[in-house]
């Protein structure tokens, strides 16, 4: 007699808590739409359509010809890249970093952010995360056995968490506080005064303050983002995660870095030595060239996204969406208009996102996939050409099925 074994019984309770990853879910929905013959304009994921600057590609080719670069990588990153990061950081933020002890190279900033709770949380320790937010924050805390306290990001508070409203009982059990500016999904920037308050708050409550700065160089209207290292010059209790993905359109290369307190960096480095073998040296060496590029290169990338923003936001507003011009990042955060569907509160942003995909071929990210506070919103990506954005807006304008006439 064959005994049937249920795979469901083999799945850990932590995995069961995760549910479907919103971006994987949208990829599957897109594939089904394409298979059914729908032409899709993808405005969902933050996957840059711009190519990396040609100088980086040429450096990649040169480094691939060096046999030494094909050996096992250095766990913490090659010293030449860490020195280049230190130089870049000084020129950008006027802060000196020790390449050996205050910088760690990552397999994309997502890797560092997702491993962070494993390094610092014990069972039932709390992490304070923004809501809505990049799903990796919450999901990695759950996988580490920690607990999540979500601080809502609200329009009336300029999309900043209200730190004063966090319960003392939570703070007594918390170890991590996540920030993300320029913000995904809202496009907000954090003023220097808020970051100063956050540093004081973390110090007072003995929290490790983690700022995800994946979009640090993608800012608009002459604005610039601030680094935590500018605020907390002693780097006590602070870690900051950076990425090559958006700044240099290198998302497929999987390369990032974390900077901050040397004791915290050492703990993350020790964790990495047990979990991965570092980044391919060819990619690391090419990234040195990326960091040496003049500001005009990143300024050009910013102008491209800014031009797209200035097409998409007015277009969405003309359709009834409540959308602000983002100050940074590559997304537009738009509140769903009631006239789009008078019953949207019952049907959810996910349902409306799927209707946009299946009826007119425009793929967005449902706000609920980024947190409960994101319900009633859609996130539109700027990673499509101006022509595609205009086409998407025209499709939405003409769609009587969704607008209701």
Give the 3-state secondary structure of the chain.
CCCCCCHHHHCCHHHHHHCCCHHHHHHHHHHHHHHCCCCCEECCCCCCCCCCCHHHHHHHHHHHCCHHHHCCCCCCCCHHHHHHHHHHHHHHHCCCCCCCCCEEEECCHHHHHHHHHHHHCCCCCEEEEEECCCCHHHHHHHHCCCEEEEEECCHHHCCCCCHHHCCHHHHCCEEEEEECCCCCCCCCCCCHHHHHHHHHHHHHHCCEEEEECCCCCCECCCCCCCCHHHHCCCCCCEEEEEECCCCCCCHHHCCEEEEECHHHHHHHHHHHHHHCCCCCHHHHHHHHHHHHCCHHHHHHHHHHHHHHHHHHHHHHHHCCCEECCCCECCEEEEECCHHHCCCHHHHHHHHHHHHHHHHHCEECEEHHHHCHHHCCEEEEECCCCHHHHHHHHHHHHHCHHHHCC
Task: Supply φ then ψ for residue 329, to 5 degrees.
Answer: 85, -170
Of 265, 292, 319, the one marking the end of a domain is 292
Specify if 91 maps to a domain.
yes
46 within domain boundaries: yes
Residue 153 lies in a domain: yes
Domain match, 301 and 280 both: no
Clarify whether residues 169 and 261 are in a common domain.
Answer: yes
pLDDT < 70 stretches in the chain: 1-9, 16, 18-20, 339-347, 400-405
Give me the residue label for tokens 């703070």.
171
Please indicate, yes or no, whether residues 250 and 386 belong to a single structural domain of this protein.
Answer: no
For residue 259 the two structure tokens come to 């900077």
**CATH number of the domain to which 59 belongs:** 3.40.640.10
* Residue 273 shares a structural domain with residue 358: no
- Residue 341 has a pLDDT of 56
CA distances, 361 to each of 45, 170, 213, 337 (Å): 15, 44, 32, 19
In-domain check, residue 194? yes
Can you give the residue range of the structural domain that contains 37? Answer: 7-51+296-399
Q: What angle do CA 88, 91, 95 make, to 5 degrees?
A: 90
End position of a domain, from candidates 292, 315, 345 = 292
Same domain assignment for residues 269 and 380: no
Q: What is the pLDDT of residue 344?
A: 47
What CATH number did the domain enclosing 324 receive? Answer: 3.90.1150.10
Same-domain check for residues 285 and 304 = no
Q: What are phi and psi of 83, to 5 degrees?
A: -70, -35
Between CA 229 and CA 17 the distance in angstroms is: 35
Residue 2 included in any domain = no
With contact defined as beta carbons under 8 Å apart, do 259 and 229 qualify? yes
59-112 pLDDT tens trace: 999 999 999 999 999 989 999 999 999 999 999 999 999 999 999 999 999 999
- pLDDT for residue 75: 87
Q: What is the pLDDT of residue 225?
A: 97
Cβ atoms of residues 248 and 254 within 8 Å: no
Asked if 364 and 41 touch (Cβ cutoff 8 Å), the reply is no
Whether 405 is in a domain gets the answer no
Residues 100 and 230 in one domain: yes
Question: Domain total for the chain?
Answer: 2
Q: Is residue 1 part of a domain?
A: no
The predicted structure's pLDDT at residue 116: 96
Model pLDDT, residue 272: 93
Asked whether residue 301 falls in the same domain as residue 152, the answer is: no
Do 131 and 232 fall into the same domain? yes
Q: Which residue has the tokens 């983690």?
A: 210
Q: Residue 99 half-sphere exposure, CB side, CA atoms within 13 Å? A: 13
d(CA 236, CA 126): 20
| Torsion 160-163-167-171 (CA) sign | positive
Residues 318 and 236 in one domain: no
Do 139 and 253 sit in the same domain of this protein? yes
Residues 6+ apart with CB under 8 A from 116: 140, 176, 210, 239, 268
Domain boundary among 292, 311, 334: 292
Which among 329, 112, 87 is positioned nearest to 210, based on CA atoms? 112
Tell me if 404 is assigned to some domain.
no
Q: Is 186 found in the same domain as 66?
A: yes
24 burial via Cβ count (<10 Å: 0-12, 13-18, 19+): exposed
- The pLDDT, as a whole number, for residue 60 is 97
């Amino acid at each position: 007699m064959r005994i049937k074994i249920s795979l469901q019984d083999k799945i850990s309770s932590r995995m069961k808590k995760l549910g479907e990853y919103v971006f994987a879910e949208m990829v599957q929905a897109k594939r089904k739409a394409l298979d059914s013959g729908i032409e899709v304009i993808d405005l969902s994921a933050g996957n840059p359509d711009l190519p990396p600057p040609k100088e980086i590609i040429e450096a990649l080719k040169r480094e691939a010809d060096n046999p030494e670069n094909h050996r096992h990588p250095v766990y913490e990153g090659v010293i030449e890249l860490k020195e280049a990061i230190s130089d870049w950081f000084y020129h950008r933020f006027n802060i000196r970093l020790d390449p050996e002890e205050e910088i760690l190279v990552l397999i994309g900033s997502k890797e560092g952010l997702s491993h962070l709770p494993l390094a610092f949380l014990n069972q039932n320790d709390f992490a304070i995360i923004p809501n809505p937010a990049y799903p990796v924050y919450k999901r990695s805390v759950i996988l580490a056995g920690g607990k999540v306290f979500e601080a809502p990001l609200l329009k009336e508070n300029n999309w900043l968490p209200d730190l004063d409203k966090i319960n003392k009982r939570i703070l007594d059990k918390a170890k991590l506080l996540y920030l993300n500016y320029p913000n995904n999904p809202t496009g907000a920037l954090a003023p220097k005064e808020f970051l100063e308050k956050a540093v004081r708050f973390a110090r007072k409550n003995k929290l490790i303050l983690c700022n995800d700065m994946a979009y640090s160089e993608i800012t608009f209207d002459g604005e610039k983002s601030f680094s935590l290292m500018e605020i907390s010059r002693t780097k006590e209790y602070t870690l900051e995660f950076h990425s090559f993905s958006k700044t240099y359109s290198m998302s497929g290369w999987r390369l990032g870095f974390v900077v901050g307190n040397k004791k915290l960096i050492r703990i993350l480095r020790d964790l990495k030595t047990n979990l991965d073998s570092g980044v391919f040296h060819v990619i690391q060496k090419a990234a040195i060239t990326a960091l040496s590029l003049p500001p005009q290169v990143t300024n050009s990338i910013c102008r491209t996204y800014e031009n797209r923003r200035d097409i998409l936001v007015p277009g969405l507003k003309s359709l009834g969406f409540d959308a602000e011009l983002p100050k940074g990042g590559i997304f537009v955060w738009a509140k769903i208009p009631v006239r789009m569907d008078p019953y949207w509160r019952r049907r959810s942003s996910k349902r409306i996102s799927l209707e946009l995909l299946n009826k007119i071929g425009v793929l967005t990210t449902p706000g609920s996939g980024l947190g409960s506070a994101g319900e009633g919103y859609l996130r539109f990506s700027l990673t499509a050409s101006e022509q595609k954005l205009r086409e998407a807006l025209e499709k939405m304008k003409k769609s009587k099925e969704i607008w209701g006439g």
